[in-house]
Structure 1
Amino acid sequence: MKANLLSLLFLCFSALAFAQNMDDDSEMRVKSVIDSSKADNMILKQFFVVNVPLDSVWNACTTKKGWENWAVSLAEVDFRINGTIRTNYNKEGEIGDESTITLHIVNYIPKRMLTLQAHLTNNFPEFMREDEKNLFNMILFEEINGKKTKVSSYGIGYKNNEKYMSLMKFFIQGNEQSYLNLISYLETGKPSVDY
């Protein structure tokens, strides 16, 4: 009961902060919200607008060059349905070593939608590895005008329980930093954190 009450309070404060900052792009570039309206599951919703054309955003998220310019030191992209995006933060590492992160491309609609599923390594908690087949990230790309694009990310499949709720802060912070890197790279040519 206590965990549910804390989850509800966290959700209410997150929703309030989200609503207050929704119209103020100058203060908050990435907006995050946890939706636990479904009894058994949570969805991590994250949104941002970037001041570049849709093609630039799509290319940054679907090509080796794009990933290596804003997200990781090393990337290998086989962009197709059932393809993979394999990355490594370690400049001294290589694709395929134990620090490689593999994202499976479940499906996509060019320049509109991309669904990814991570292969969870031993670096993730056991309870997440057990749920791996149910965890997805759906990313929607929307052209606002020729010079502005909205990106909406939905982390799907998190269970609405104390274990997952404790990880949400970590996921929110990590994802927000990644999206800020992407925004900085797209708008200035340099990520906010260099890999």
Structure 2
Amino acid sequence: MRRALAALCMFAAGQAFAAEKAIDREVVVAAKVDAVWQAWTTTEGIKTFFAPDARVELRVDGPFEIYFNPFAQPGMKGADGMRIIGFQPQRMLTFTWNAPPHLPEARANRSVVVLRFEPVGDAQTRVTLHHIGWGEGGEWDKAYDYFSKAWPNVLGNLQKRFASGPVDWTEWLARMKATQ
């Protein structure tokens, strides 16, 4: 009886895990792991592909704040208040994430992003993104749809950063400043 109960519990746990809503994306970048790792784990690196400003301190519970609109009020700049959960140098980075400001109900909560870095040959890196921790219904569904479209753009910018240079945020910043 105990074996049957244990098997049933393991089956149910597996089914619950299998049902977890996630966004999974992958990209190969024309750069060595060290360079791609630096792009994701430093303030200066983030500003080359992700957003015009950031605050990143690579340590457990360190800030992983990405400022899409540096001119906005605190708490409304983008990924304000996000934290690094854990990391393995040049292999894995995990951080909390929130919804954009136009989805305040979902924004009040946190989801989790796991990035993995894997060398591909001598001068390429596979970056896999796994975004989990989604609620159900309402703004959660809108946030999921938003990031299903946003993460491919971020990863595309990462590729471009190593193919043709850092993103020039001049026009973006002018638009953001004009909205204030």
Taking structure 2 as the reference length, the TM-score comes to: 0.73
What is the aligned-residue identity percentage? 22
Structure 1 residues 132-171: aligned runs within 5 Å: 132=110, 135-159=111-135, 164-171=140-147
Residue in structure 1 matched with residue 79 of structure 2 by the alignment: 101
Residue in structure 2 matched with residue 174 of structure 1 by the alignment: 150
Alignment size in residue pairs: 155
**Structure 2 segments unaligned to the other structure (5+ residues):** 1-15, 173-180
Q: Contact 1:114 / 1:138 at 8 angstroms: preserved in 2?
A: yes
Taking structure 1 as the reference length, the TM-score comes to: 0.68
One-letter code aligned to 1:136: V
Cα offsets for 1:16-40 (capped at 9, x unmatched): xxxxxxxxxxxxxxxxxxxx9733x
Cα offsets for 1:2-29 (capped at 9, x unmatched): xxxxxxxxxxxxxxxxxxxxxxxxxxxx
**Structure 1 segments unaligned to the other structure (5+ residues):** 1-35
Greater strand content? 1
CA distance in 1, matches of 2:123, 2:54: 27
Q: Contact 1:50 / 1:148 at 8 angstroms: preserved in 2?
A: yes
Root-mean-square deviation (CA), in Å?
A: 2.8
Is 1:38 equivalent to 2:18 in the alignment?
yes
Residue in structure 2 matched with residue 76 of structure 1 by the alignment: 55
CA distance in 2, matches of 1:70, 1:121: 18
One-letter code aligned to 1:101: A
Measured after TM superposition, the shift of residue 97 of structure 1 is: 5.8
CA gap of 1:150–1:95, structure 2 versus 1, over 3 A, is farther
CA distance in 2, matches of 1:100, 1:172: 17
One-letter code aligned to 2:29: V
Q: Contact 1:74 / 1:95 at 8 angstroms: preserved in 2?
A: no
Residue in structure 2 matched with residue 90 of structure 1 by the alignment: 69
Q: Contact 1:53 / 1:147 at 8 angstroms: preserved in 2?
A: yes
CA gap of 1:162–1:154, structure 2 versus 1, over 3 A, is same
CA gap of 1:130–1:90, structure 2 versus 1, over 3 A, is closer
Residue in structure 1 matched with residue 161 of structure 2 by the alignment: 185
One-letter code aligned to 2:50: A
Measured after TM superposition, the shift of residue 193 of structure 1 is: 7.2
One-letter code aligned to 2:57: D
CA gap of 1:169–1:192, structure 2 versus 1, over 3 A, is farther
Moved over 6 A (4+): none
Measured after TM superposition, the shift of residue 131 of structure 1 is: 4.6
